Amino acid sequence: MNPPAVTHPNTSTDTDASARQEQTKSANAGDLSASSLTGSSEVRLSRSRQTWTGAGSAAGFVLRYLPPMRRLLTDVLGSESDADRALAILISHLVKAGYSGHAKGRLRDFLILGLRSAAKARVTEIESKAKKAGESFRPRDLDLDSAKTESRRWLSYWREGLLQRTWRALEREQHRERTRSHQIESGEVDAGDADADVVADEPINDLVHDVMRMVADHSGESSEVIAGRVAELAERSVSAAEVKRQLPIARSLFAQLLADEISLTLENADAKAIQAEISKLGLQKAFSGLQVKA
């Protein structure tokens, strides 16, 4: 069985409730409804016109990308605690001043400038506190080379951050399908609804995340073995045929969700710009074998 051509980075939970709130406001347009989980292999790049520049809350939106930001600041400052303080400084600034007229271009470029400023502000803060306390202070050497717009390290962290968000979005889609399955099984679908029979007859794609994850983590294993692994996660019997049916659905859904996530980070999210970002971040394999359209 051919594995999906995507990586599966370690997942991390959102660390702030406002991040989830902003996600609900800004990303819902990028999510596919459960009823749209079909076998289509088509991916629409510029499906949504929502971008980071139009976010109602700059701080709330930026909180979506805390993991790559924290990783980079840890490298720059050499300390996780200092990285967390620098992040607090940056978020506090965004709460007060928003994007301050700099909401242009790519979000990752805007953020790298903010991260550099926050790192310097943290060092100044440490120095000021040391002087007030009469303590000696040794100037901190900042690794600002890694905090540049085209830094390989930053691009790598950003890429993994996007993939993490896409995996979580795929997991949410799976949850929606399982909810739909439960509603059908429990008879909660309104029999008087004209679409009820159609909904009940649609195949349940409640394994899209688990199938994708198992194939990504255990590349080269047979469908039967993958089915066994997925069954343990789903806590129900899963056949090899079911794995084969849901895998292409999962791949195309993952690619669509990834394209949607990337589009949110661009000021002008047309198909050309999204394709350029996909190429820059080395994410082309996620779209391999799919019909990618504007």
Task: Check residue 229 and give its pLDDT.
Answer: 98
Task: Check residue 19 and give its pLDDT.
Answer: 40
pLDDT digits (tens, 9 = 90+) for 170-201: 999 999 999 998 888 887 766 455 555 545 56
**Long-range contacts at 180-188 (CB < 8 A, ≥ 24 apart):** 180/34, 180/204, 180/206, 181/206
Nearest CA to 267 out of 44, 55, 19 is that of 55
Q: Provide the pLDDT confidence category of residue 114 given band limits of 50, 70 and 90.
A: very high
Task: Check residue 15 and give its pLDDT.
Answer: 40
Q: Does pLDDT of 71 surpass 50?
A: yes
Q: Does pLDDT of 225 surpass 50?
A: yes
Taking residues 32-51, report their average pLDDT: 71
N-terminal to C-terminal alpha carbon distance within the chain: 29
Task: Check residue 48 and give its pLDDT.
Answer: 83
Find the helix or strand (DSSP H, E) in which 23 lies: helix 17-27
What is the model's pTM?
Answer: 0.83
- CA–CA distance, 71 with 90 (Å, rounded to integer): 15
**Is 143 strand, coil or helix?**
coil
Task: Check residue 44 and give its pLDDT.
Answer: 95
Task: Check residue 12 and give its pLDDT.
Answer: 43
Q: Does pLDDT of 80 surpass 80?
A: yes
Task: Check residue 137 and give its pLDDT.
Answer: 75
Share of the chain above pLDDT 70, in %: 82
Share of the chain above pLDDT 90, in %: 71
For 201, counting Cβ atoms within 10 Å of its Cβ (0-12 exposed, 13-18 middle, 19+ buried), the class is exposed
Task: Check residue 140 and give its pLDDT.
Answer: 77
pLDDT digits (tens, 9 = 90+) for 125-161: 999 998 998 887 777 789 999 999 999 999 999 999 9
Q: Measured on CA atoms in the order 28, 30, 31, 33, is the torsion positive or negative?
A: positive
Task: Check residue 26 and give its pLDDT.
Answer: 38
Task: Check residue 32 and give its pLDDT.
Answer: 32
Report the Cα 49 to chain-centroid distance in Å: 18
CB 257 within 8 A of CB 30: yes
Task: Check residue 139 and give its pLDDT.
Answer: 76
Strand ranges in the chain using DSSP code E only, listed in sequence order: 42-44, 291-293
Q: Does pLDDT of 33 surpass 60?
A: no
51 φ/ψ angles, rounded to the nearest 5 degrees: -140, 170
